Structure 1
Amino acid sequence: MFRVLFAISVLLTLACSAKAEIQPFPANFKIEEIATNGATIHVRVGGSGPAVVLLHGYGETGDMWAPLAAVLARDHTVVVPDLRGLGLSSKPAGGYDKKTQGTDVAGVLDALHIDKADVVTHDIGNMVGYAFAAENPQRVTRFVLIDAPLPGIGPWEEVLKNPLLWHFRFGGPDMERLVAGRERIYLDRFWNEFSADPAKFDEASRVHYAELYALPGAMHAGFSQFAAFDQDAIDDKAFLEKGGKLSMPVLAIGGEKSFGPMMATIMRFAASDVTEGIIPNSGHWIMEENPDATIEMVTAFLSKKQ
């Protein structure tokens, strides 16, 4: 009887694991491993037409963008990297300041022979995208930033006082040892506390991303993304002083139960042409909590004639 019950348990576990999948990219997307700037960036590329780059943030990878990528690929060339150190990109010892990662983006586009692109970003992707846009304004046609601040820009010091953001200062070898083998426990905290409804960040997605963040070097890279914020703040202030505000059209989107209109407030310190957008019934994880509204808002903005 014990063996029968054990066999049933194994089968149920395998069945659950088989379902632990998030939406895949369309079959016509290809994978490229692009060596640039001291890292190898895992990139998904598909579709045809004007280019658009989608940059993810912490707690996810480029996989978060699959539903949006499928829609954009109808009339765009869609480029979806994993940030250095995260997902299936390489995990170098350094280079986690956002200025360096902005150069990663430039290198990816160069390798793909793409001169200009729309840029859509979320969370830490906002910071990388801003660094890329500030240093390469001629290469960014439109810029969408979703639900995360920019270091050193606008009310950054006030944002840092939010107790929910204690993880900005959480890092180092001892912290890495604390979460080793417990990546899912650590990440659940983000998915739960930053959601309007934690159930919207489903179990399949949690399993998928926890496995990727458990890869060797991934948690170190994740902590390094946050540890670089002080340098990012210095760099962002320098971008503003040297180049002034971004001039391309910017859509600043906040989750209704997260940054909300604050995203537009932040971006008006860094850009001169800012449109405010709010995703209803959503916290921070907009592609999980309200993908339909997010896709509609982003595609409508990107389709506007300049």
Structure 2
Amino acid sequence: MLKILIGIVGVLAAASAAAQVQPFPATFQTHEIETNGATIHVRVGGAGPAVVLLHGYGETGDMWAPMAEDLARDHTVIVPDLRGLGLSSKPATGYDKKTQAGDVEGVLDALKIDRADLVTHDIGNMVGYAFAVQHPKRVNRFVLIDAPLPGIGPWDEVLKNPLLWHFRFGGPDMERLVAGRERIYLDRFWNEFSATPSRFTEASREHYAKLYALPGAMHAGFAQFAAFDQDARDNKAFIAANGNLDMPVLAIGGEKSFGPMMATVMRFAASNVTEGVIPDSGHWIMEENPQATLALVRSFLDAK
């Protein structure tokens, strides 16, 4: 009987561990980098050419832990939390993506990194694009995953999708509605934008819901979306002034989400675009099919 009980406990412990948000390797260090009117929480590990991983809404830099562990074998991996989210500070302003591109610039400058690859998801795409289009000589390769760019390509059609009502949801009354109900609000994203909602585990949901319940976090999250009109104006001005990106770009969509549309969007903003699709996945690529995501990203970054 004792052996049976020990076996059951072991199985349960293993299942629990598998369901947890994966921690970063112990070799990674954390930095609190003060720049551009914010304090950005950054994880740094590995050695070699630099790669920056930018998360989106509903998650933090924690989403990238499995990819960071793999890339750190031959890259210096930099993983910030966007301003206002995760463990970064939550200033009252600065949520337009042009300002947040300045956050990325400040992080790289503080770490004395001149050039890097970018791998971005969701709102991270928008921040990464604003950085790349203003500082093209600092970006070697750029991977964007499963989210449009304000003002670029079919943006006006994207806005008509009823699933994206949250783009216009915000303000003091909305903050009062979700105060203390952050988990309920975030479940809507994790459920509706997944191909298989159960792959966004209960442990992950609890982890991120606690971070988004921190003081100022929901305000900052709403502010990320409220800035989209300004972001659209900025992006159109970037293209008018700088033209399309010319570094290699990999545009990835989840099969049950943006799919090949991600590459369609990026061909309005970049000249050298490769299309990628993550099979059997919705929007949450690192939860739903991390192996395929990592394989696509690494193949692209490693290409000669």
Superposition TM-score, scaled by structure 2 size: 0.94
The AA in structure 2 aligned to 1:40 is T
Q: 1:186-201 residue pairs with structure 2 within 5 A? A: 186-201=185-200
Whole-Å separation in 1 of the counterparts to 2:63 and 2:279: 19
Amino acid at match of 2:23: P
Q: How does 1:17-56 map to 2 (within 5 A)?
A: 21-56=20-55
Asked if 1 retains the 8 angstrom alpha-carbon contact of 2:263 and 2:273, the reply is yes
Match of 2:285 in 1: 286
Map 1:56-75 to 2 at 5 A. 56-75=55-74
After TM superposition, give the deviation of residue 19 of structure 1 in Å. 8.5
In the TM superposition, residue 21 of structure 1 has moved relative to its aligned partner by: 3.1
Q: Following the alignment from structure 2 to structure 1, what is the Cα–Cα distance between the partners of residues 276 and 126?
A: 18
Which residue does 1:121 correspond to in 2?
120
Aligned to 2:3: none
Bigger Cα displacement from structure 2, 277-286 vs 20-29: 20-29
Matches within 5 A, 1:233-252: 233-252=232-251
> 1:149 is matched with which residue?
148
Residue matched to 1:100:
99
Aligned partner of 1:296: which letter? A
Contact 1:20/1:208 (<8 A) preserved: no
Equivalent residues of 1:20, 1:207 under 8 A apart: no
Structure 1 equivalent of residue 221 of structure 2:
222
Identify the residue that residue 11 of structure 1 maps to in structure 2. Answer: none
* Residue identity opposite 2:95 in structure 1: Y
Write the distance in 1 (CA, Å) between the matches of 2:255 and 2:101: 28
Q: Which residue of 1 aligns with 2:11?
A: none
CA–CA separation in structure 2 for the residues paired with 1:228 and 1:214: 21
Give the whole-Å Cα distance in 1 for the aligned partners of 2:289 and 2:118. 20
Q: Can you list the C-alpha shifts for 1:168-225, whole angstroms capped at 9, x where unaligned?
A: 0000000000000000000000000000000010101000000000000000000000
In structure 2, relative to structure 1, the CA distance for the partners of 1:20 and 1:298 (3 Å cut) is closer
Which secondary structure state, in structure 1, belongs to the residue aligned with residue 152 of structure 2?
coil
Q: How many angstroms does 1:17 deviate by?
A: 9.5
1:98: Cα distance to partner? 0.1
Contact 2:200 2:288 in 1 (8 A): yes
Cα distance in 2 for partners of 1:17, 1:39 equals 35
AA of the residue aligned to 2:204: S
TM-score (norm 1): 0.94
Aligned residue in 1 for 2:8: none
Counterpart CA distance in 2 for 1:90 and 1:133 is: 23
Please tell me the residue identity of whatever aligns with 2:168.
R
Q: 2:80 maps to which residue? A: 81
Residue 20 of structure 1: CA displacement?
7.0
Q: Contact 1:19 / 1:204 at 8 angstroms: preserved in 2?
A: no
RMSD, aligned α-carbons: 1.4
Letter of the 1:32 counterpart:
H
CA distance in 2 between counterparts of 1:211 and 1:20 reads 16
Contact 2:260–2:276 at 8 Å: present in 1 too?
yes
Instruction: Report matched runs for 1:126-205 at 5 Å.
Output: 126-205=125-204
Cα distance in structure 1, aligned partners of 2:113 and 2:227 = 28
Which structure 1 residue ranges, 5 or more long, are not aligned?
A: 1-15
Q: Identity percentage over the alignment?
A: 81
